[in-house]
Amino acid sequence: MKLLNSVVSVSVSVILTLGVAPVLASDIQYIAFSTEKVLDLKTTGGDVVTIDEIKDGFSQVAGTKIVGSKLLMKKSAPVVNMKLFNGAIVDFKAAYSGQSVMGGDMGGGGKGGAKL
């Protein structure tokens, strides 16, 4: 038991010594989404680009890229919203202003919301 307490206290002191810096939204370079959950992106120009068009190289959206099974998107990407396969829509203007960013029919005719 004494050895366990020593290991725990050493681990805690290492964590406290190293510290963990908080990650600010302004420090985030990319937001990652599973390509299996994304249906399409609507750009600021009004175009709707499907995830398959991006995967297959038929379309490109500035500030986005596919890495493995993830869609990586910069905050500066010209994307207004993203439609998911479950019908939810992620509104990026609302996300960056701190409002409710996901909506979808919750069965009662209302809109559900989640904050990023």
pLDDT at position 4 over 50:
no
The number of helices, as runs of H, and strands, as runs of E, in the chain is 3, 8
Domain ranges of the chain: 22-103
| pLDDT at residue 113, rounded to an integer | 47
Instruction: Classify burial at 15, counting beta carbons within 10 Å of its beta carbon; exposed 0-12, middle 13-18, buried 19 or more.
Output: exposed
Rounded CA gap, 101 and 116, in Å? Answer: 7
Query: What does the pLDDT look like over 29-40, one tens digit per residue?
Result: 788 889 999 999
| pLDDT at residue 26, rounded to an integer | 58
Which tops the pLDDT comparison, 115 or 44?
Answer: 44
pLDDT at position 92 over 90:
no
Residue 89 β-bridge partners? 83, 103
| pLDDT at residue 114, rounded to an integer | 47
Amino acid occupying residue 105: D
Q: In what order do the strands lie in the sheet with 64-67?
A: 30-34, 70-74, 64-67
**Two tokens, residue 106:** 């919750």
| pLDDT at residue 93, rounded to an integer | 73
pLDDT at position 17 over 50:
no
Rounded CA gap, 17 and 20, in Å? Answer: 9
